[in-house]
A and B are shown apart, each in its own frame.
Chain A
Amino acid sequence: MPWDLIFFYIIGAISVLAALGMVASPNPIHSGILLVVCFLNVAGIFVMLGAEFLAIVQVIVYTGAILVLLLFVLMLVDPHELPSFYLAQPLQRGVGVLLGLILLLEIGAAIVTQTQFGPKGNATPANIAAMGGNVQALGSVLQTNYLLAFEVVSLVLITGIIGAIVLAVPERLGQRIGTLRSTISLGHPRGLDHPAALMAGPRNETPIVTKERKAPEPAAVRRLVMAKDPDDFTSV
């Protein structure tokens, strides 16, 4: 019984169905969760391909961090703000689907035509086992051939972090923690709960006086729950 084939078909089917569900589901949370399912299956595929480390990385990084963040944001966005499921420009979307199908056929054809592969490397399963498993082998390759890339990727991650901070954290919150004197301001509107305590905005910006703060926001402007001043919600 070719267990691997069976396992492959099962996992493959689940992941494809999950992916389809993710695209088609009206409720974003459901699509989020379906994506989690899909990614877990993909981790399974990685294991079948012998890349255990990648499977674990897939689980920890993708499902563990990125999708959690995604769900995080999904939950923060009030459901009624979400756009209607139905398509705004049918023609455009129709063409999109058509293109997708054509591309699928093309890639299928490409796979079928069996292009020749490059020269066989020396990382046969036997060598990997000799080195003590996929993790050790991959570790050694990473540290030797791809050392530069490894360093550069660390830079990419750092920029990612800084980017996230700059974009997501509104100043005001920064101040309340008290430790953070000033943050990188992108000119977000700066709320002011009590004028005395808070220091003026960045040098050139005039502090928003309390009067402004109380100005009722026009109804049309719908606001994000979390971005609002948490004081509205927690009594701590």
Chain B
Amino acid sequence: MEHYLFLIPLLPLVAFVINLLLGRWVVKHASAYIAQVAMFGSWVVSVLVFFDIRGSSDKVLEQHLFTWIPSGTFNVPVTLHVDQLASIMLLVVTTVSTLVFVYSKGYMAHDGGFYRFFAYLPLFAFSMLMLVLANNLLLLYVFWEAVGLCSYLLIGFWFRRRSANEAAVKAFVVNRVGDVGFGLGIMLTFWTFGTVDFYGPDGIFAKAANHAALGVSGGTMTAIALLLFLGACGKSAQFPLHVWLPDAMEGPTPVSALIHAATMVTAGVYMVARTHPIYLQSESALVVVALIGAFTSFLAATIALVQYDLKKVIAYSTISQLGYMVFALGTGAWVAAIFHLMTHAFFKGLLFLGAGSVMHGMHDELDMRKMGGLRKFMPITFWTFLIASFANAGLIPFAGFWSKDEAIVGAWASASSVGKLAAVVGLITAFLTALYMFRCVFMTFFKAPRFNPEAIHPHESGAWMAVPLVILAVPAALIGFIGFPPENGPFQHFLEPVFEQAPAQTTHANEQASLYTIQEPATTRTAIAAAQAATATETHETHVSTATTVTFGIISTIIAVSGIFVAYLTYITGTISATAIGARFAPLYQLFVNKWYLDEIYHNYITMPFYNFAMFLWRIVDVKIIDGTVNGVAALIGAISQRMRTVQTGLLANYALGIALGMVIIVGIYLAGFSTLFR
């Protein structure tokens, strides 16, 4: 299978090139099909690769394409490397992409820059796939930024909107801040380990493992880990660098669905997961990661609670869920994080697509206060949105419950000091998530419509949009079971080889039936059901006793249900008045509405100082000091020569006098200096 690896990224790239160059004149509307076909092809190859890898426990596929930078010892090859983690990511990315491509065909049907959209999307897919396939840190970095480029292009798609473009610039610059951290991390790794390759005997991971032997101090390891994490924060919108994600909603909804929910934002999590051997070497790094993750999830949840813009709510919920994944990573629950990543990709994608179809129906109206009672108008959207909300809230049968619960359990039971704290925060955030998700559901789909029916006629979206919704609903509901029973489900076993040194998981399960839901033909769905049924009972000791998992399961269900109930009380029955609570906790409410004043802080304390310093540099240093001196010297010379002119009086006598004076002086000098007069 190694030889066909290059096909995965190549197909979207080809689609991008065709659509970009020929899109405007030749291809026009056909560009959608080209993109979709390419994506589907890439999905098929990914599935084949998955099955190939699933075949043997620690099978790794690698394909070297060409050498990129052969500069002395810094040799960067372009090689594709697929292991279990990568194959899962491939599957997630390609699946969601294909669905979003289909959805976008409907959504962007009558938009001016149609071909341009379907050029940028495959470019994004290509970069994301290459990012996942990269076998060394620098290549990862290259496509890390390429993905940032695509998000810039797609956010700023409707370039006539000033806000869209500002959001795009903001996204790119904030990402760039993260990337700088990432870049510096790469440099540090290179100079400490002498190479940027992950795998292989002299790869980073091998050397990291026995870094003490190599004389590399713990501090350096922490520094590398933290720098890389800074990059992850930038990309996965964690606390300091999360400000760009809410603004990214300016872009078209499919973009938000694909990029800002499923794939790009998870790149950070993937990167941390991929480089976990480095993180394992430094406890403090892991603590930081966990704390950031926890805090971000709580922060985002609070803000999401008070948002009225449908897409903004979902965006903040993404940040919150990403927070979960990050603190799962931070506490060593690698597999839980990836599991949550996968489940989140599906139900969050569904949420966004749902929001997209709502927008479509409501003539691009997003303010929930102007919606209501859309249940009757768009049943499919409603039901799929409801399933996704349940999943997001983490209700028992749905995917969200399993992964989120496992993350919390993993955090609770982990050896890391902040594990317990993270778990508690996780639970609180779970409650808030349930609350705001169902606030959003109740406000949009229930109660009486708050828009005037003549102007806006909400209608169910077309087939192109509805079908992907339904398809996505299935994994959103059922994907959780591949991680059942918690801790040693088929999913965990599949990922074991990647994280085998992981302290948390020491079990060694035998192969089990496949565990993936495969879209499209119903037959595949039945295969999944069969797989679940045949959960092998194997003996493996897990440090987490089934008792704790069961208790946590019960706790989180209770929390989820109570969250939904509270939302029901406030928005359906009106027993709790949201405005009253807002009024009582006014300062807190204002804090949340203004997004914890972070945007203002950044603007006033980072952007403006730089801008003013630049203005100072230009106005004062460049114009006044440097140019000033240059022109000053010229003026000075002019002035001096003007004064010298007056010496020429024109009178012959003066000149004669001058000559005589000269004679006197010369003879004087001779006498004083050279003659024997004074000696």
- Among B3-11, B545-553, B657-665, the one that faces the other chain is B657-665
Q: How far is the CA of A184 from the CA of B342 in the complex (A)?
A: 108
Q: Which residues of B contact A (CB under 8 A)?
A: 651, 653-654, 656-657, 660-661, 663-664, 667-668, 670-671, 675-677
B657 near A115 (CB under 8 angstroms)?
no
Question: Known contacts A92-B651, A106-B664, A115-B675; can you find 20 more A-B pairs with CB under 8 A?
Answer: A89-B651, A89-B653, A92-B653, A92-B654, A92-B657, A93-B653, A96-B653, A96-B657, A99-B661, A99-B664, A103-B660, A103-B664, A106-B667, A106-B668, A106-B671, A109-B671, A109-B677, A110-B675, A110-B677, A114-B676
Q: Which residues of A contact B (CB under 8 A)?
A: 89, 92-93, 95-96, 99-100, 102-103, 106-107, 109-110, 112-115
Q: How far is the CA of A117 from the CA of B61 in the complex (A)?
A: 103
Q: Give every chain B residue within 8 A of A100 (Cβ-Cβ).
A: 660
A99 near B676 (CB under 8 angstroms)?
no
Q: A107 and B667 in contact (CB under 8 A), knowing A113-B675, A113-B676?
A: yes
A-B contact count (CB 8 A): 43
Q: How far is the CA of A95 from the CA of B658 in the complex (A)?
A: 11
Shortest C-beta distance, B205 to chain A (Å), equals 92
A103 near B663 (CB under 8 angstroms)?
yes
Q: A110 and B653 in contact (CB under 8 A), knowing A96-B660, A99-B661, A100-B660?
A: no
Q: Give every chain A residue within 8 A of B661 (Cβ-Cβ).
A: 99
Q: How far is the CA of A115 from the CA of B671 in the complex (A)?
A: 11
A interface, over-half SS: helix
Q: How far is the CA of A99 from the CA of B660 in the complex (A)?
A: 7
Shortest C-beta distance, A186 to chain B (Å), equals 21
Q: How far is the CA of A144 from the CA of B505 in the complex (A)?
A: 115
Name 7 A/B residue pairs within 8 A (Cβ), A-sorted.
A96-B660, A99-B664, A106-B668, A107-B667, A109-B671, A114-B676, A115-B676
Q: How far is the CA of A112 from the CA of B663 in the complex (A)?
A: 18
Q: How far is the CA of A114 from the CA of B675 in the complex (A)?
A: 9
**Closest A residue by C-beta to B661:** A99
A102 near B664 (CB under 8 angstroms)?
yes
Q: Give every chain B residue within 8 A of A103 (Cβ-Cβ).
A: 660, 663-664, 667
Q: Give every chain A residue within 8 A of B667 (Cβ-Cβ).
A: 103, 106-107, 110
Q: Give every chain A residue within 8 A of B676 (Cβ-Cβ).
A: 113-115
Shortest C-beta distance, A156 to chain B (Å), equals 22
Q: Give every chain B residue within 8 A of A93 (Cβ-Cβ).
A: 653
Q: How far is the CA of A186 from the CA of B181 in the complex (A)?
A: 85
Shortest C-beta distance, B660 to chain A (Å), equals 5
Partner of A110, one of B657, B664, B671: B671
Q: How far is the CA of A93 from the CA of B664 in the complex (A)?
A: 16
A113 near B660 (CB under 8 angstroms)?
no
Shortest C-beta distance, A109 to chain B (Å), equals 6
Q: How far is the CA of A110 from the CA of B668 in the complex (A)?
A: 9
Q: Give every chain B residue within 8 A of A89 (Cβ-Cβ).
A: 651, 653
